[in-house]
Amino acid sequence: KAGVTQTPRYLIKTRGQQVTLSCSPISGHRSVSWYQQTPGQGLQFLFEYFSETQRNKGNFPGRFSGRQFSNSRSEMNVSTLELGDSALYLCASSLDSGGPNPYEQYFGPGTRLTVT
């Protein structure tokens, strides 16, 4: 099976712009979670989507949003970019039901966002 894929891999944006990142989960996986990774704050949970609904949210401002499509693919959007949004954005997918370990999460390679 193919792993979690994320596009684009690298992105450079200017303050004030907005950006959309895409994630394709492992085939059959229904849950998609997003994390932000920075040297200062480490890995922080942004939100989780399941069946096209957000069912979990971290402590990030409303500028960060996401959605999930019927094929489980997900996008996250950051509006009005700030310098502090520069980070590696990681997507993780999990089966979420069935099997011995339904909540195991598998991460994609991430999208490196640089805000100038």
Interface residues for another protein in 45-74 (CB under 8 A)?
45, 48, 50, 55-56, 58
Q: 22 or 44: whose CB is closer to another protein?
A: 44
* 84 makes contact with another protein (CB under 8 A): no
Q: Answer whether 56's CB lies under 8 Å from 66's CB.
A: no
Q: Look at residue 29 and give its three-state secondary structure.
A: coil
- Return d(Cα 74, Cα 8) in angstroms, integer: 13
Question: Residue 109 CB: number of other CB atoms within 10 A?
Answer: 13
Q: Which residues bind another protein (CB under 8 A)?
A: 4, 31, 33, 35, 42-45, 48, 50, 55-56, 58, 90, 92, 94, 96, 101, 103-110
